[in-house]
Amino acid sequence: MPDPRDGFIQGQTVFLTGGRGFIGTHLVKRFLSRGNCVTIFDNGRRDSLRYSKLDGAKGLKVIAGDVMDRQALERALGSPSYVLHLAAIAGVSLYFKQPVLTMEVNYGGTQNILSCLKDRSDLRLFVGFSTSEIYGPEAYQVREEDRTSQGNVAERRWVYAVSKLAAEKLGYAYFWEYGLPICYLRPFNVYGPGQVGEGAISLFIYRALRGLPLRVTGDGSQVRAFCYVEDFCDAVDACLARAESVRGTSFNLGDPAEPITMRDLAEKIITLTGSASTIEFVPHQGQDVRYRSPSIEKAARALEYKPCWSLENGLRATIDWFRMTDPAEPR
């Protein structure tokens, strides 16, 4: 990746929905370190910011609000040069429990922020966060131009994928009709310190450090390629610095170098934590994704994206954070 001292945005105004979350907090820290002015708009449902020591930092403004409240969103916006839309309902167990809220927030919240921005001539880039789920149950080395697949419409498992795909398509519609400068990122299993939301690695580490059984769905043969959060944020930084050239496109962002089964991941975390935990196999809620790994060739060309964190080093850093911070159980 390019040297972070050269070529990344500095002295700009940045607005983040969902900025108190896991990825948002890592990005906010980076933006503030380069003298950018940052506004967070977030309802606080998942709060990684509380562990970052960034509250009250120079250049940071935090506004409590919900993306479903369009008027509050418009009042909070100001005149940012960059908008990152991270606010969403995520986590398999959550969107199984609240499929209506998932659809409303992920699509309706996106509609609200896009409609607030469509007439702003000073906006350099809107970055929307989509998901690897849009590629369906079999996603092996998928490319951005590959067909999306959301499975049976009657299967609850795909509520999140459909809501995110619809939101991404809406972003493109605003680009085509209004010229809104959009770019969409499709994260593939991002993990790391500060992940207080539901995720396989955060849940496994939390339970391993307490000697609790690690719950693996199905037979544990599902394969994932995990991406450390710092590598992911490098790509977001590079995307903002190349605002003009990335408009009207999408990027897969992940790390396909070390795909691993969920069973092997659980065993690896037990070993790295020195835990006495056992593995408990439990039924999966609805249809599962058998294989998920991206092709990142497009991001490598356009963003000079090259993940550098090995899975083991990333896991060790994340375990250290969980030990030091002792957060509540990820949810």
Q: Which of 107, 160, 184, 228 is catalytic?
A: 160
Contact 62, 33 (CB under 8 A): no
Q: Read off the pLDDT of residues 2-40 as tens digits, 9 standing for 90 and up.
A: 444 456 999 999 999 999 999 999 999 999 999 999 999
Say what the pTM is. Answer: 0.96
Pairing of strands 249-253, 182-187: parallel
Q: Read off the pLDDT of residues 182-195 as tens digits, 9 standing for 90 and up.
A: 999 999 999 999 99
Written as six digits, the tokens of 166 are 């619809």
Contact 159, 103 (CB under 8 A): yes
Percent of the chain with pLDDT over 90: 89
Selected from 3.40.50.720, 3.40.50.300, 3.60.10.10, 3.20.20.140, the CATH number assigned to the domain covering 13-325 reads 3.40.50.720
pLDDT of residue 93: 81
Helix (H, G, I), strand (E, B) or coil at 242: coil
CA distance 29 to 50: 12
Q: Which residues pair with 186 in a beta bridge?
A: 252
How confident is the prediction for the chain on average, in pLDDT? 95
pLDDT of residue 133: 94
pLDDT of residue 5: 41
229-247 CB burial, b ≥16 within 10 A, e <16: bbbbbbbbbbbbbbbeebb
Phi-psi region of 310 (alpha: psi -120 to 50; beta: other; left: phi over 0): beta
Q: Read off the pLDDT of residues 111-136 as tens digits, 9 standing for 90 and up.
A: 999 999 999 999 999 999 999 999 99
pLDDT of residue 311: 98
Contact 146, 293 (CB under 8 A): no
Q: Judge residue 218's burial from the number of C-beta atoms within 10 Å of its C-beta, 0-12 exposed, 13-18 middle, 19 or more buried.
A: middle
Contact 175, 248 (CB under 8 A): yes
Q: Nearest Cα to 24, choosing from 74, 72, 71, 90? A: 90
The alpha carbon of residue 133 and the mean position of all alpha carbons in its chain are separated, in whole angstroms, by 12
pLDDT of residue 6: 54
CB atoms within 10 A of CB 104: 16
Instruction: Say if residue 78's pLDDT is above 70.
Output: yes
Q: Is 160 a catalytic residue?
A: yes
